Amino acid sequence: MRSPAPRAATLTFLLIAWLIPIAARAQSAPLPRVRLVATGGTISNRVGGRLSAEELVKSMPGVERYARPEFEQFSNLASGELTLEQWLGIARRLNELLATDPEIGGLVVTSGTDTLEELAYFLNLTVLSDKPVVVVGSMRNPSTLGYEGAANLLEGFRVAASAEAHGKGVLVVLNDEINAAREVTKTDALRLGTFQTRGYGILGVVDSDRVVFYRGILRRHTMKSEFDVAGLARLPRVDVILVYQGADGDLIKAAADAGAQGIVIAGAGAGATSGTQQEALTYALKKGVLVVTTTRAGSGRIAPPRRGPDATPGGGDGPGTSLTAEERMRRIAGEDLAPVKARILLMLALTRTHDPSEVQRMFSEY
């Protein structure tokens, strides 16, 4: 009887011979190309002159292990100096890069942290691709002891190069954590752990061994968005008004008179107003302004008002109001969006429709 040893050795040899080319191909597969689109912010605000996009890329130790870095300079400003027209330009540029360069793996955008969550959410609604777009920044400038910008940028590149980041919308990466653009909020003026997602938690983390995701986002974004900014020259005016005890409604009337097409109310608790604000809101609604109610509390959902014969008299707009059914429809529930993000969604919604029912649908879906 023949020994099985020679046959086993032959099979082992054939298996090794088959696996070696596969392993070689895997090792030789090029790393993803990831492009930095730099806009400025604290991450580049060095004393004596701002860091350029090229200098930011060169500041990342070991980036070549994760991605093939590229860079371009869109602007080099503090985030508060960026105009809405520049926001449109950034979105168009990112869409252009992703549409014309199919080999690009992902994009990283630098932003000042003061308005980072706003830019990130705007891009979440206007970048029409499932490829990763990651927004990063830093709390300390390059001339400060403990500058964390290079680390945040490297982690942003790692996330943008990650296959698991595809289809998750625009991501915000700072302090080793990954948050969703829709949900993340700057919660502290100075601390490094300022960007948090209240109530829902982080999407994932960037650790030394790999990028780890724990959950995804169910709301519509990026590739499934209906907002195309390719032909937009400007965004409609939408103002945010804060509710506080004894507040005068003059600011609401002034916004309506100045041409605001929408007003976002950062309401007390579940959306309450104070002082003469309710009277002023009636004034704005009668002028055709759409009013979105959100909460100043930091988290919580504002549900759409009940419509129909069993609804609160006046549609919940307070006693003494004389709104028609059409005017009451202009009250939009902001769901769980922060006031500044509700403003962004309302601006984009108004580029497509002034139908309150359609706008409410958008707030329910996005």
Active-site amino acid positions: 42
Could you give the residue ranges of the DSSP H alpha helices within the chain? 5-28, 53-58, 84-100, 116-126, 149-160, 250-257, 277-286, 325-328, 339-350, 356-365
Which of helix, strand or coil describes residue 295?
A: strand
Q: Give one DSSP letter per residue of 147-192, joined into a string.
A: --HHHHHHHHHHHHT-GGGTTS-SEEEETTEEEETTT-EE--SS-T
Q: Partners of 110 in the beta sheet?
A: 38, 136
| Alpha-carbon span 259 to 256, nearest angstrom | 6
Position 86: which residue type? Q
Look-up of token digits 């930095």: 36
89 and 312 Cβ atoms separated by less than 8 Å: no
| Alpha-carbon span 350 to 358, nearest angstrom | 10
User: What is the dihedral sign for C-alpha 61, 67, 70, 73?
Assistant: negative
